[in-house]
Amino acid sequence: MKKVFDIAFKDMLQSFRSLIAVLFMFGVPLLMTAMFALMFGNSDGEEEPFTLPVTKVILVNQDSGSFGELLPTGAAPQSESAASLGDVLTLTLSNENLADVLTLTEMDDPTAARAAVDAQAAGVAIILLPDLTERYLAADGRANIEIYQDPALTIGPAIIHGIISQMLDGFSASKISMSVTIEQYAQTHGTIDEAQIQSIIGQYFASAGTDNTSAQLEIRAPQSETGAEARSIGITAMIMAGMMIFYVFFTGPSTAQSILREEERGTLQRLFVTPTPTTAILSGKFVATLLTIVVQFAVLLLSGYFIFNIQWGDPLAIILLCASITLSAAAFGIFLISWMQSERQAGFMLGGVVTLTGMAGMMPIFVLGMPKPPAFIKIVSLATPQGWAVDGLQSLMTGSTLANVMPNILILLLWAAIFFIIGSLRFRNRYAQE
């Protein structure tokens, strides 16, 4: 048993003496995280939740039309304040549910509104022409709304555009449905009187009016679906978690690569002629890989906490999760190296396999900004051990408990067992006296 640790400590000494190894283990993950922190701000979930920028919007409502004048009696929307389409848009954009996304200022002069955008006093100016309602309700139904935006902005104007489009789509759908309903009613009943038409029109416009706009846009920060106690997490924390997992799974194979290095340099054969069982030699290599990853994890977790103020979550859960990740990454290394014949081959193959599986595992981080990422992203991610590791860390950072991440821990241990059994069997066969 002592010899196992002698071999492990010798391997670790060699690893930590290598500047390149130390750089990849600690330097690169921390540097990458620091770069993201500088780009996006060092936001921590509790203190600075993920937020979208608030866009200053100027609305120039010149719409002089009225539903009441243009529709049969009783068919206009029931809201007292929404006499025209311009009024409906004003009410929609003034909705308090949109306060986190935009601040609305009303003006009368379109030129002054555009000038305010040019001067970057506002991000977007929405100009509603005087005949908006009239043209919208006409037979061809073509009405124009001018959106004048700061070209330097992207997210805010896109959101404003989306809100207006969604609302107008709702009106258009109602218009089409209304026409179809009246037509079908006439075909079914033979005749349709004016009162019935007014009733149908009234119902449709009522449903397309101001009261349903609050459900048109849902904006939320990326967070886990773990319930009421879920916290939002900063992008820096997610990048750090991703980098940590990526490089931990890189350290596994690169440390296990010492088996090939020793074989090529003749020291492995020399070990085999000492009174040291082959099992002890291979165990020493595995323990070296494990301990190296433990050190790497410890340094990166503490650096994340102290440098980037990352809250990793429940300490017991994080320890158990990291232990399962460590075992999985070390076994992953033994497994991969067992298929390689030389250090040169390992260099090429490991770079590809580790990068590919690491990227696949980190895919949920890449789509962090998407409100509804495609389902395949998670499926692909969870096809790799890195994916389960990232998912587990992400869960803990959003306030999950040990029970919540227990499936991640068990699956990572299962990966570890599979990798270790296959890898160690292959090595035993390879180094059984030929």
Q: Which residues of this protein are in contact with another protein, per CB under 8 A?
A: 2-3, 6, 10, 13-14, 17-18, 265-267, 269-277, 432-434
Find the shortest distance in angstroms from Cβ 289 to another protein: 17
Q: Which is nearer to another protein, 210 or 257 (CB)?
A: 257
Find the shortest distance in angstroms from Cβ 12 to another protein: 12
User: Which amino acid would we find at residue 183?
Assistant: E
Q: Which is nearer to another protein, 17 or 372 (CB)?
A: 17
Find the shortest distance in angstroms from Cβ 283 to another protein: 14
Find the shortest distance in angstroms from Cβ 267 to another protein: 5
> What angle in degrees, to the nearest 10, is found between the helix axes of 28-40 and 278-308?
20
Find the shortest distance in angstroms from Cβ 21 to another protein: 11
Alpha carbon separation from 101 to 57, 120, 262, 303, 323 (Å, rounded): 10, 17, 60, 34, 42
Q: Which is nearer to another protein, 270 or 344 (CB)?
A: 270
Q: Which is nearer to another protein, 84 or 258 (CB)?
A: 258
Query: Got the DSSP string for 283-300?
Result: HHHHHHHHHHHHHHHHHH
Q: Which is nearer to another protein, 84 or 251 (CB)?
A: 251
Q: Which is nearer to another protein, 267 or 355 (CB)?
A: 267
C-alpha 58/C-alpha 105 separation (Å) is 5
C-alpha 98/C-alpha 210 separation (Å) is 14
Find the shortest distance in angstroms from Cβ 266 to another protein: 4
Radius of gyration of the chain (CA): 31
C-alpha 85/C-alpha 162 separation (Å) is 17
Vertex 242: Cα angle to 239 and 229 (nearest 5) = 75
Could you give the 3-state DSSP secondary structure of residue 257?
Answer: coil
